[in-house]
Structure 1
């Protein structure tokens, strides 16, 4: 059996978006590398016009080439490129094929498939570090735009009572449930936006690692979900965007508490 492989060169922050787009047109195996990623699809399913149209919007932000290959063991290739991630001295993210490292107080096991949130990206790392600084015990937590479910899983590991999550991509929701099972925790996941999510009335902690425009647009919704004294953790935006995020949050009575920065990405904490 032959496979069509697309080799994409792009910036790290665009890689996840392009992988999701290619997933929508049938590509089902992805392998990240230093310059971008490779994706494969059975050659009989490959539609050139469909792919060109899907990627045309990003022509000035990336380049790609396409070739046909014999079938490879993509799982083995992925495993050889995926390394454990140290989030802090207390937390490691690993895949199921890595050995457990007893020096860490916490660990999260992740099989990311096509979903965002492996711990390798700065925004995920920062959100997890902020979570580690906040008491989750017995609290209700909402994870909006959950991707792999890594933040929702972390909330449960930290003792959260109820964790509700949502994502607009069905494969992300499936992946989040799979990862929850890998970590022996229970979360509730809805396919859709926060307005469509199966949720409680209020949460002590709301998590949203999305992007600047969505955060600004949905800020009032986030505030409405948070209990008095509760926390809102945000990421998915650059350091230069922090002032406008603070300003928007203040419009709805959210008080800036702190932020962390890595590779020009920000994760900020607000209190209601």
Structure 2
């Protein structure tokens, strides 16, 4: 299955609202650009009328325009290779493609080829998750990466000393991509698994959970994550806006997840919670 990209031109204050609206009708991946943002959905789930209805509700509020296109695997690869630049996160982590040289000196070096998957570290949520990971003890831990995308967070966990990492995603090509990236980074302790929370049935507890997905999925599946965490273990959330943090906190409390801290960038959030007794 290919993706449909909806490219939206809108001022920042309106773009935030539109992202929330599109998330409600099934869009689960967003990337900002200088004039607005792009939203992505599987081609089979694309409904142009639903997009038009959302946009019509906000017509006349600032400059608003949108268009869409189908992105095939081949086109996605070409587009990414043309535009991708190496990235340094928190002055400690390099994220680059195989065709970029390794920067020196750097503490952690992650090589990513995303294919049709999302998560190169350039989006705020991925970079914020990595920054939060740097402050969490991974040594000898069993880690779950939900919504793994390219596998970048799982790879970061392995490089930080995780004993074992389970990377899960609902898209087959994403799981394949994550597995390839794990191999590229010599992370033999990463298992990539296709599915959602249902594939976690019967799993032993995890010492750390990473969940960079979106607000709706986090709210819906938080019970499952919490059930797999022992008391005192951390869970890192991202994929939502600053104004959604209160909703995440409210749901987390129901499952004995206590808020610890959060980072923000361009209104995106990554938050750290801990399982309490």
TM-score of the aligned structures, taking structure 1 as reference length: 0.78
Q: SS of the residue aligned with 2:186?
A: coil
Correspondence 1:153-192 to 2 at 5 A: 153-186=155-188, 187-192=190-195
Q: Residue 122 of structure 2 aligns with which residue?
A: 120
Question: Does the Cα contact within 8 Å between 1:233 and 1:269 map onto a contact in 2?
Answer: yes
Is 1:58 paired with 2:51?
yes
Q: SS of the residue aligned with 2:259?
A: strand
Q: SS of the residue aligned with 2:230?
A: strand
Give the whole-Å Cα distance in 2 for the aligned partners of 1:217 and 1:209.
14
How many pairs were matched up? 241
CA distance 1:234–1:199, shift in 2 (3 Å): farther
Instruction: Extract unaligned runs of 5+ from structure 1.
Output: 1-5, 22-31, 40-49
Q: Residue 262 of structure 1 aligns with which residue?
A: 265
Q: Residue 193 of structure 1 aligns with which residue?
A: 196
Give the whole-Å Cα distance in 1 for the aligned partners of 2:155 and 2:133.
11
TM-score of the aligned structures, taking structure 2 as reference length: 0.76
Deviations along 1:104-151, one digit per CA (max 9) or x if unpaired, are 100111001111111010000100000011110100000111111111
1:248: Cα distance to partner? Answer: 1.1
Instruction: Extract unaligned runs of 5+ from structure 2.
Output: 10-14, 56-64
Correspondent of 1:228 among 231, 245, 248: 231
1:251: Cα distance to partner? Answer: 1.3
1:197: Cα distance to partner? Answer: 3.8
Deviations along 1:80-122, one digit per CA (max 9) or x if unpaired, are 3110111111111100110000221001110011111110100
1:34: Cα distance to partner? Answer: 5.4
Q: SS of the residue aligned with 1:228?
A: coil
